Structure 1
């Protein structure tokens, strides 16, 4: 019987900060696949409650929920690549308004959707929360 040294030695994605999880935002992580129903309007919504970035003034972490809702054009975004892309913001010092619009711009560039809205609902710091909504109509 072979006993593993630890529970994570056979895992390929977990904790690989230097490879799949770059130090800065990387839109190249986004992968797409063909929309098999391009003639139909339908809504795809992703929600992550684990979004993290850094305050550009203090370097402290900002936490929030990011919701991405879009009507696909010819391409759809693959969910794991979207997760890796969003995780790449963990080391990004940026204001919430800026990063919400950057997420929208990167996804519009990759997908060319008919419509898309990105909403960032950020937890309060200093007693005030912020919700940022950015939209695109193609």
Structure 2
């Protein structure tokens, strides 16, 4: 490994699941190839949160894409952060955009995109999409290719 990873508090250490997104610590490490343009993708096909009114569980398939500048997110801290939503009450839009804003604030990437493909609540799926701007030229960005919810039909 190259680089200084001495500030990391979760990778390689036993950690407990944060009780809330506010309690979760997101960590970053230097991008290994600064100056090169590439895309990093994280997929969370079993993301869960709670309806803020009923307390019932909500489920989503999240796809996070970003083109790093100086930093990349440390993946264990991201996993713990996403898992911290399991007892967090918020609407689909809030969860999806809060995740995006927190990661953009931490990483200051060249480009960022999130797709929140939520399973039905009240018989209707609610999908939420956001990106920080136009994607950088010359970078291969595959489509997210998560199929919209179709039920059993």
Q: Same fold (TM over 0.5)?
A: yes
- How many aligned residue pairs are there? 122
What is the TM-score of this pair, normalised by structure 2?
A: 0.74
Q: Which residue of 2 aligns with 1:97?
A: 93
What is the TM-score of this pair, normalised by structure 1?
A: 0.82
Residue 60 of structure 1 pairs with residue 43 of structure 2: no
CA distance in 2, matches of 1:73, 1:28: 23
Q: Which residue of 1 aligns with 2:140?
A: none
Give yes or no for contact 1:53–1:92 (8 Å, CA) kept in 2.
yes
Please report how far the alpha carbon of residue 71 of structure 1 lies from its aligned counterpart in structure 2 after TM superposition: 0.1
For structure 1, the residue ranges without an aligned partner over 5 or more in a row are 1-11, 14-18
Residue 123 of structure 1 pairs with residue 152 of structure 2: no
Regions of 4+ moved over 2 Å: none
Structure with the bigger percentage of helix: 1
Give yes or no for contact 1:23–1:88 (8 Å, CA) kept in 2.
yes
Give yes or no for contact 1:114–1:137 (8 Å, CA) kept in 2.
no
For structure 2, the residue ranges without an aligned partner over 5 or more in a row are 1-12, 135-153
**Greater CA radius of gyration, 1 or 2?**
1
- RMSD, aligned CA: 1.8
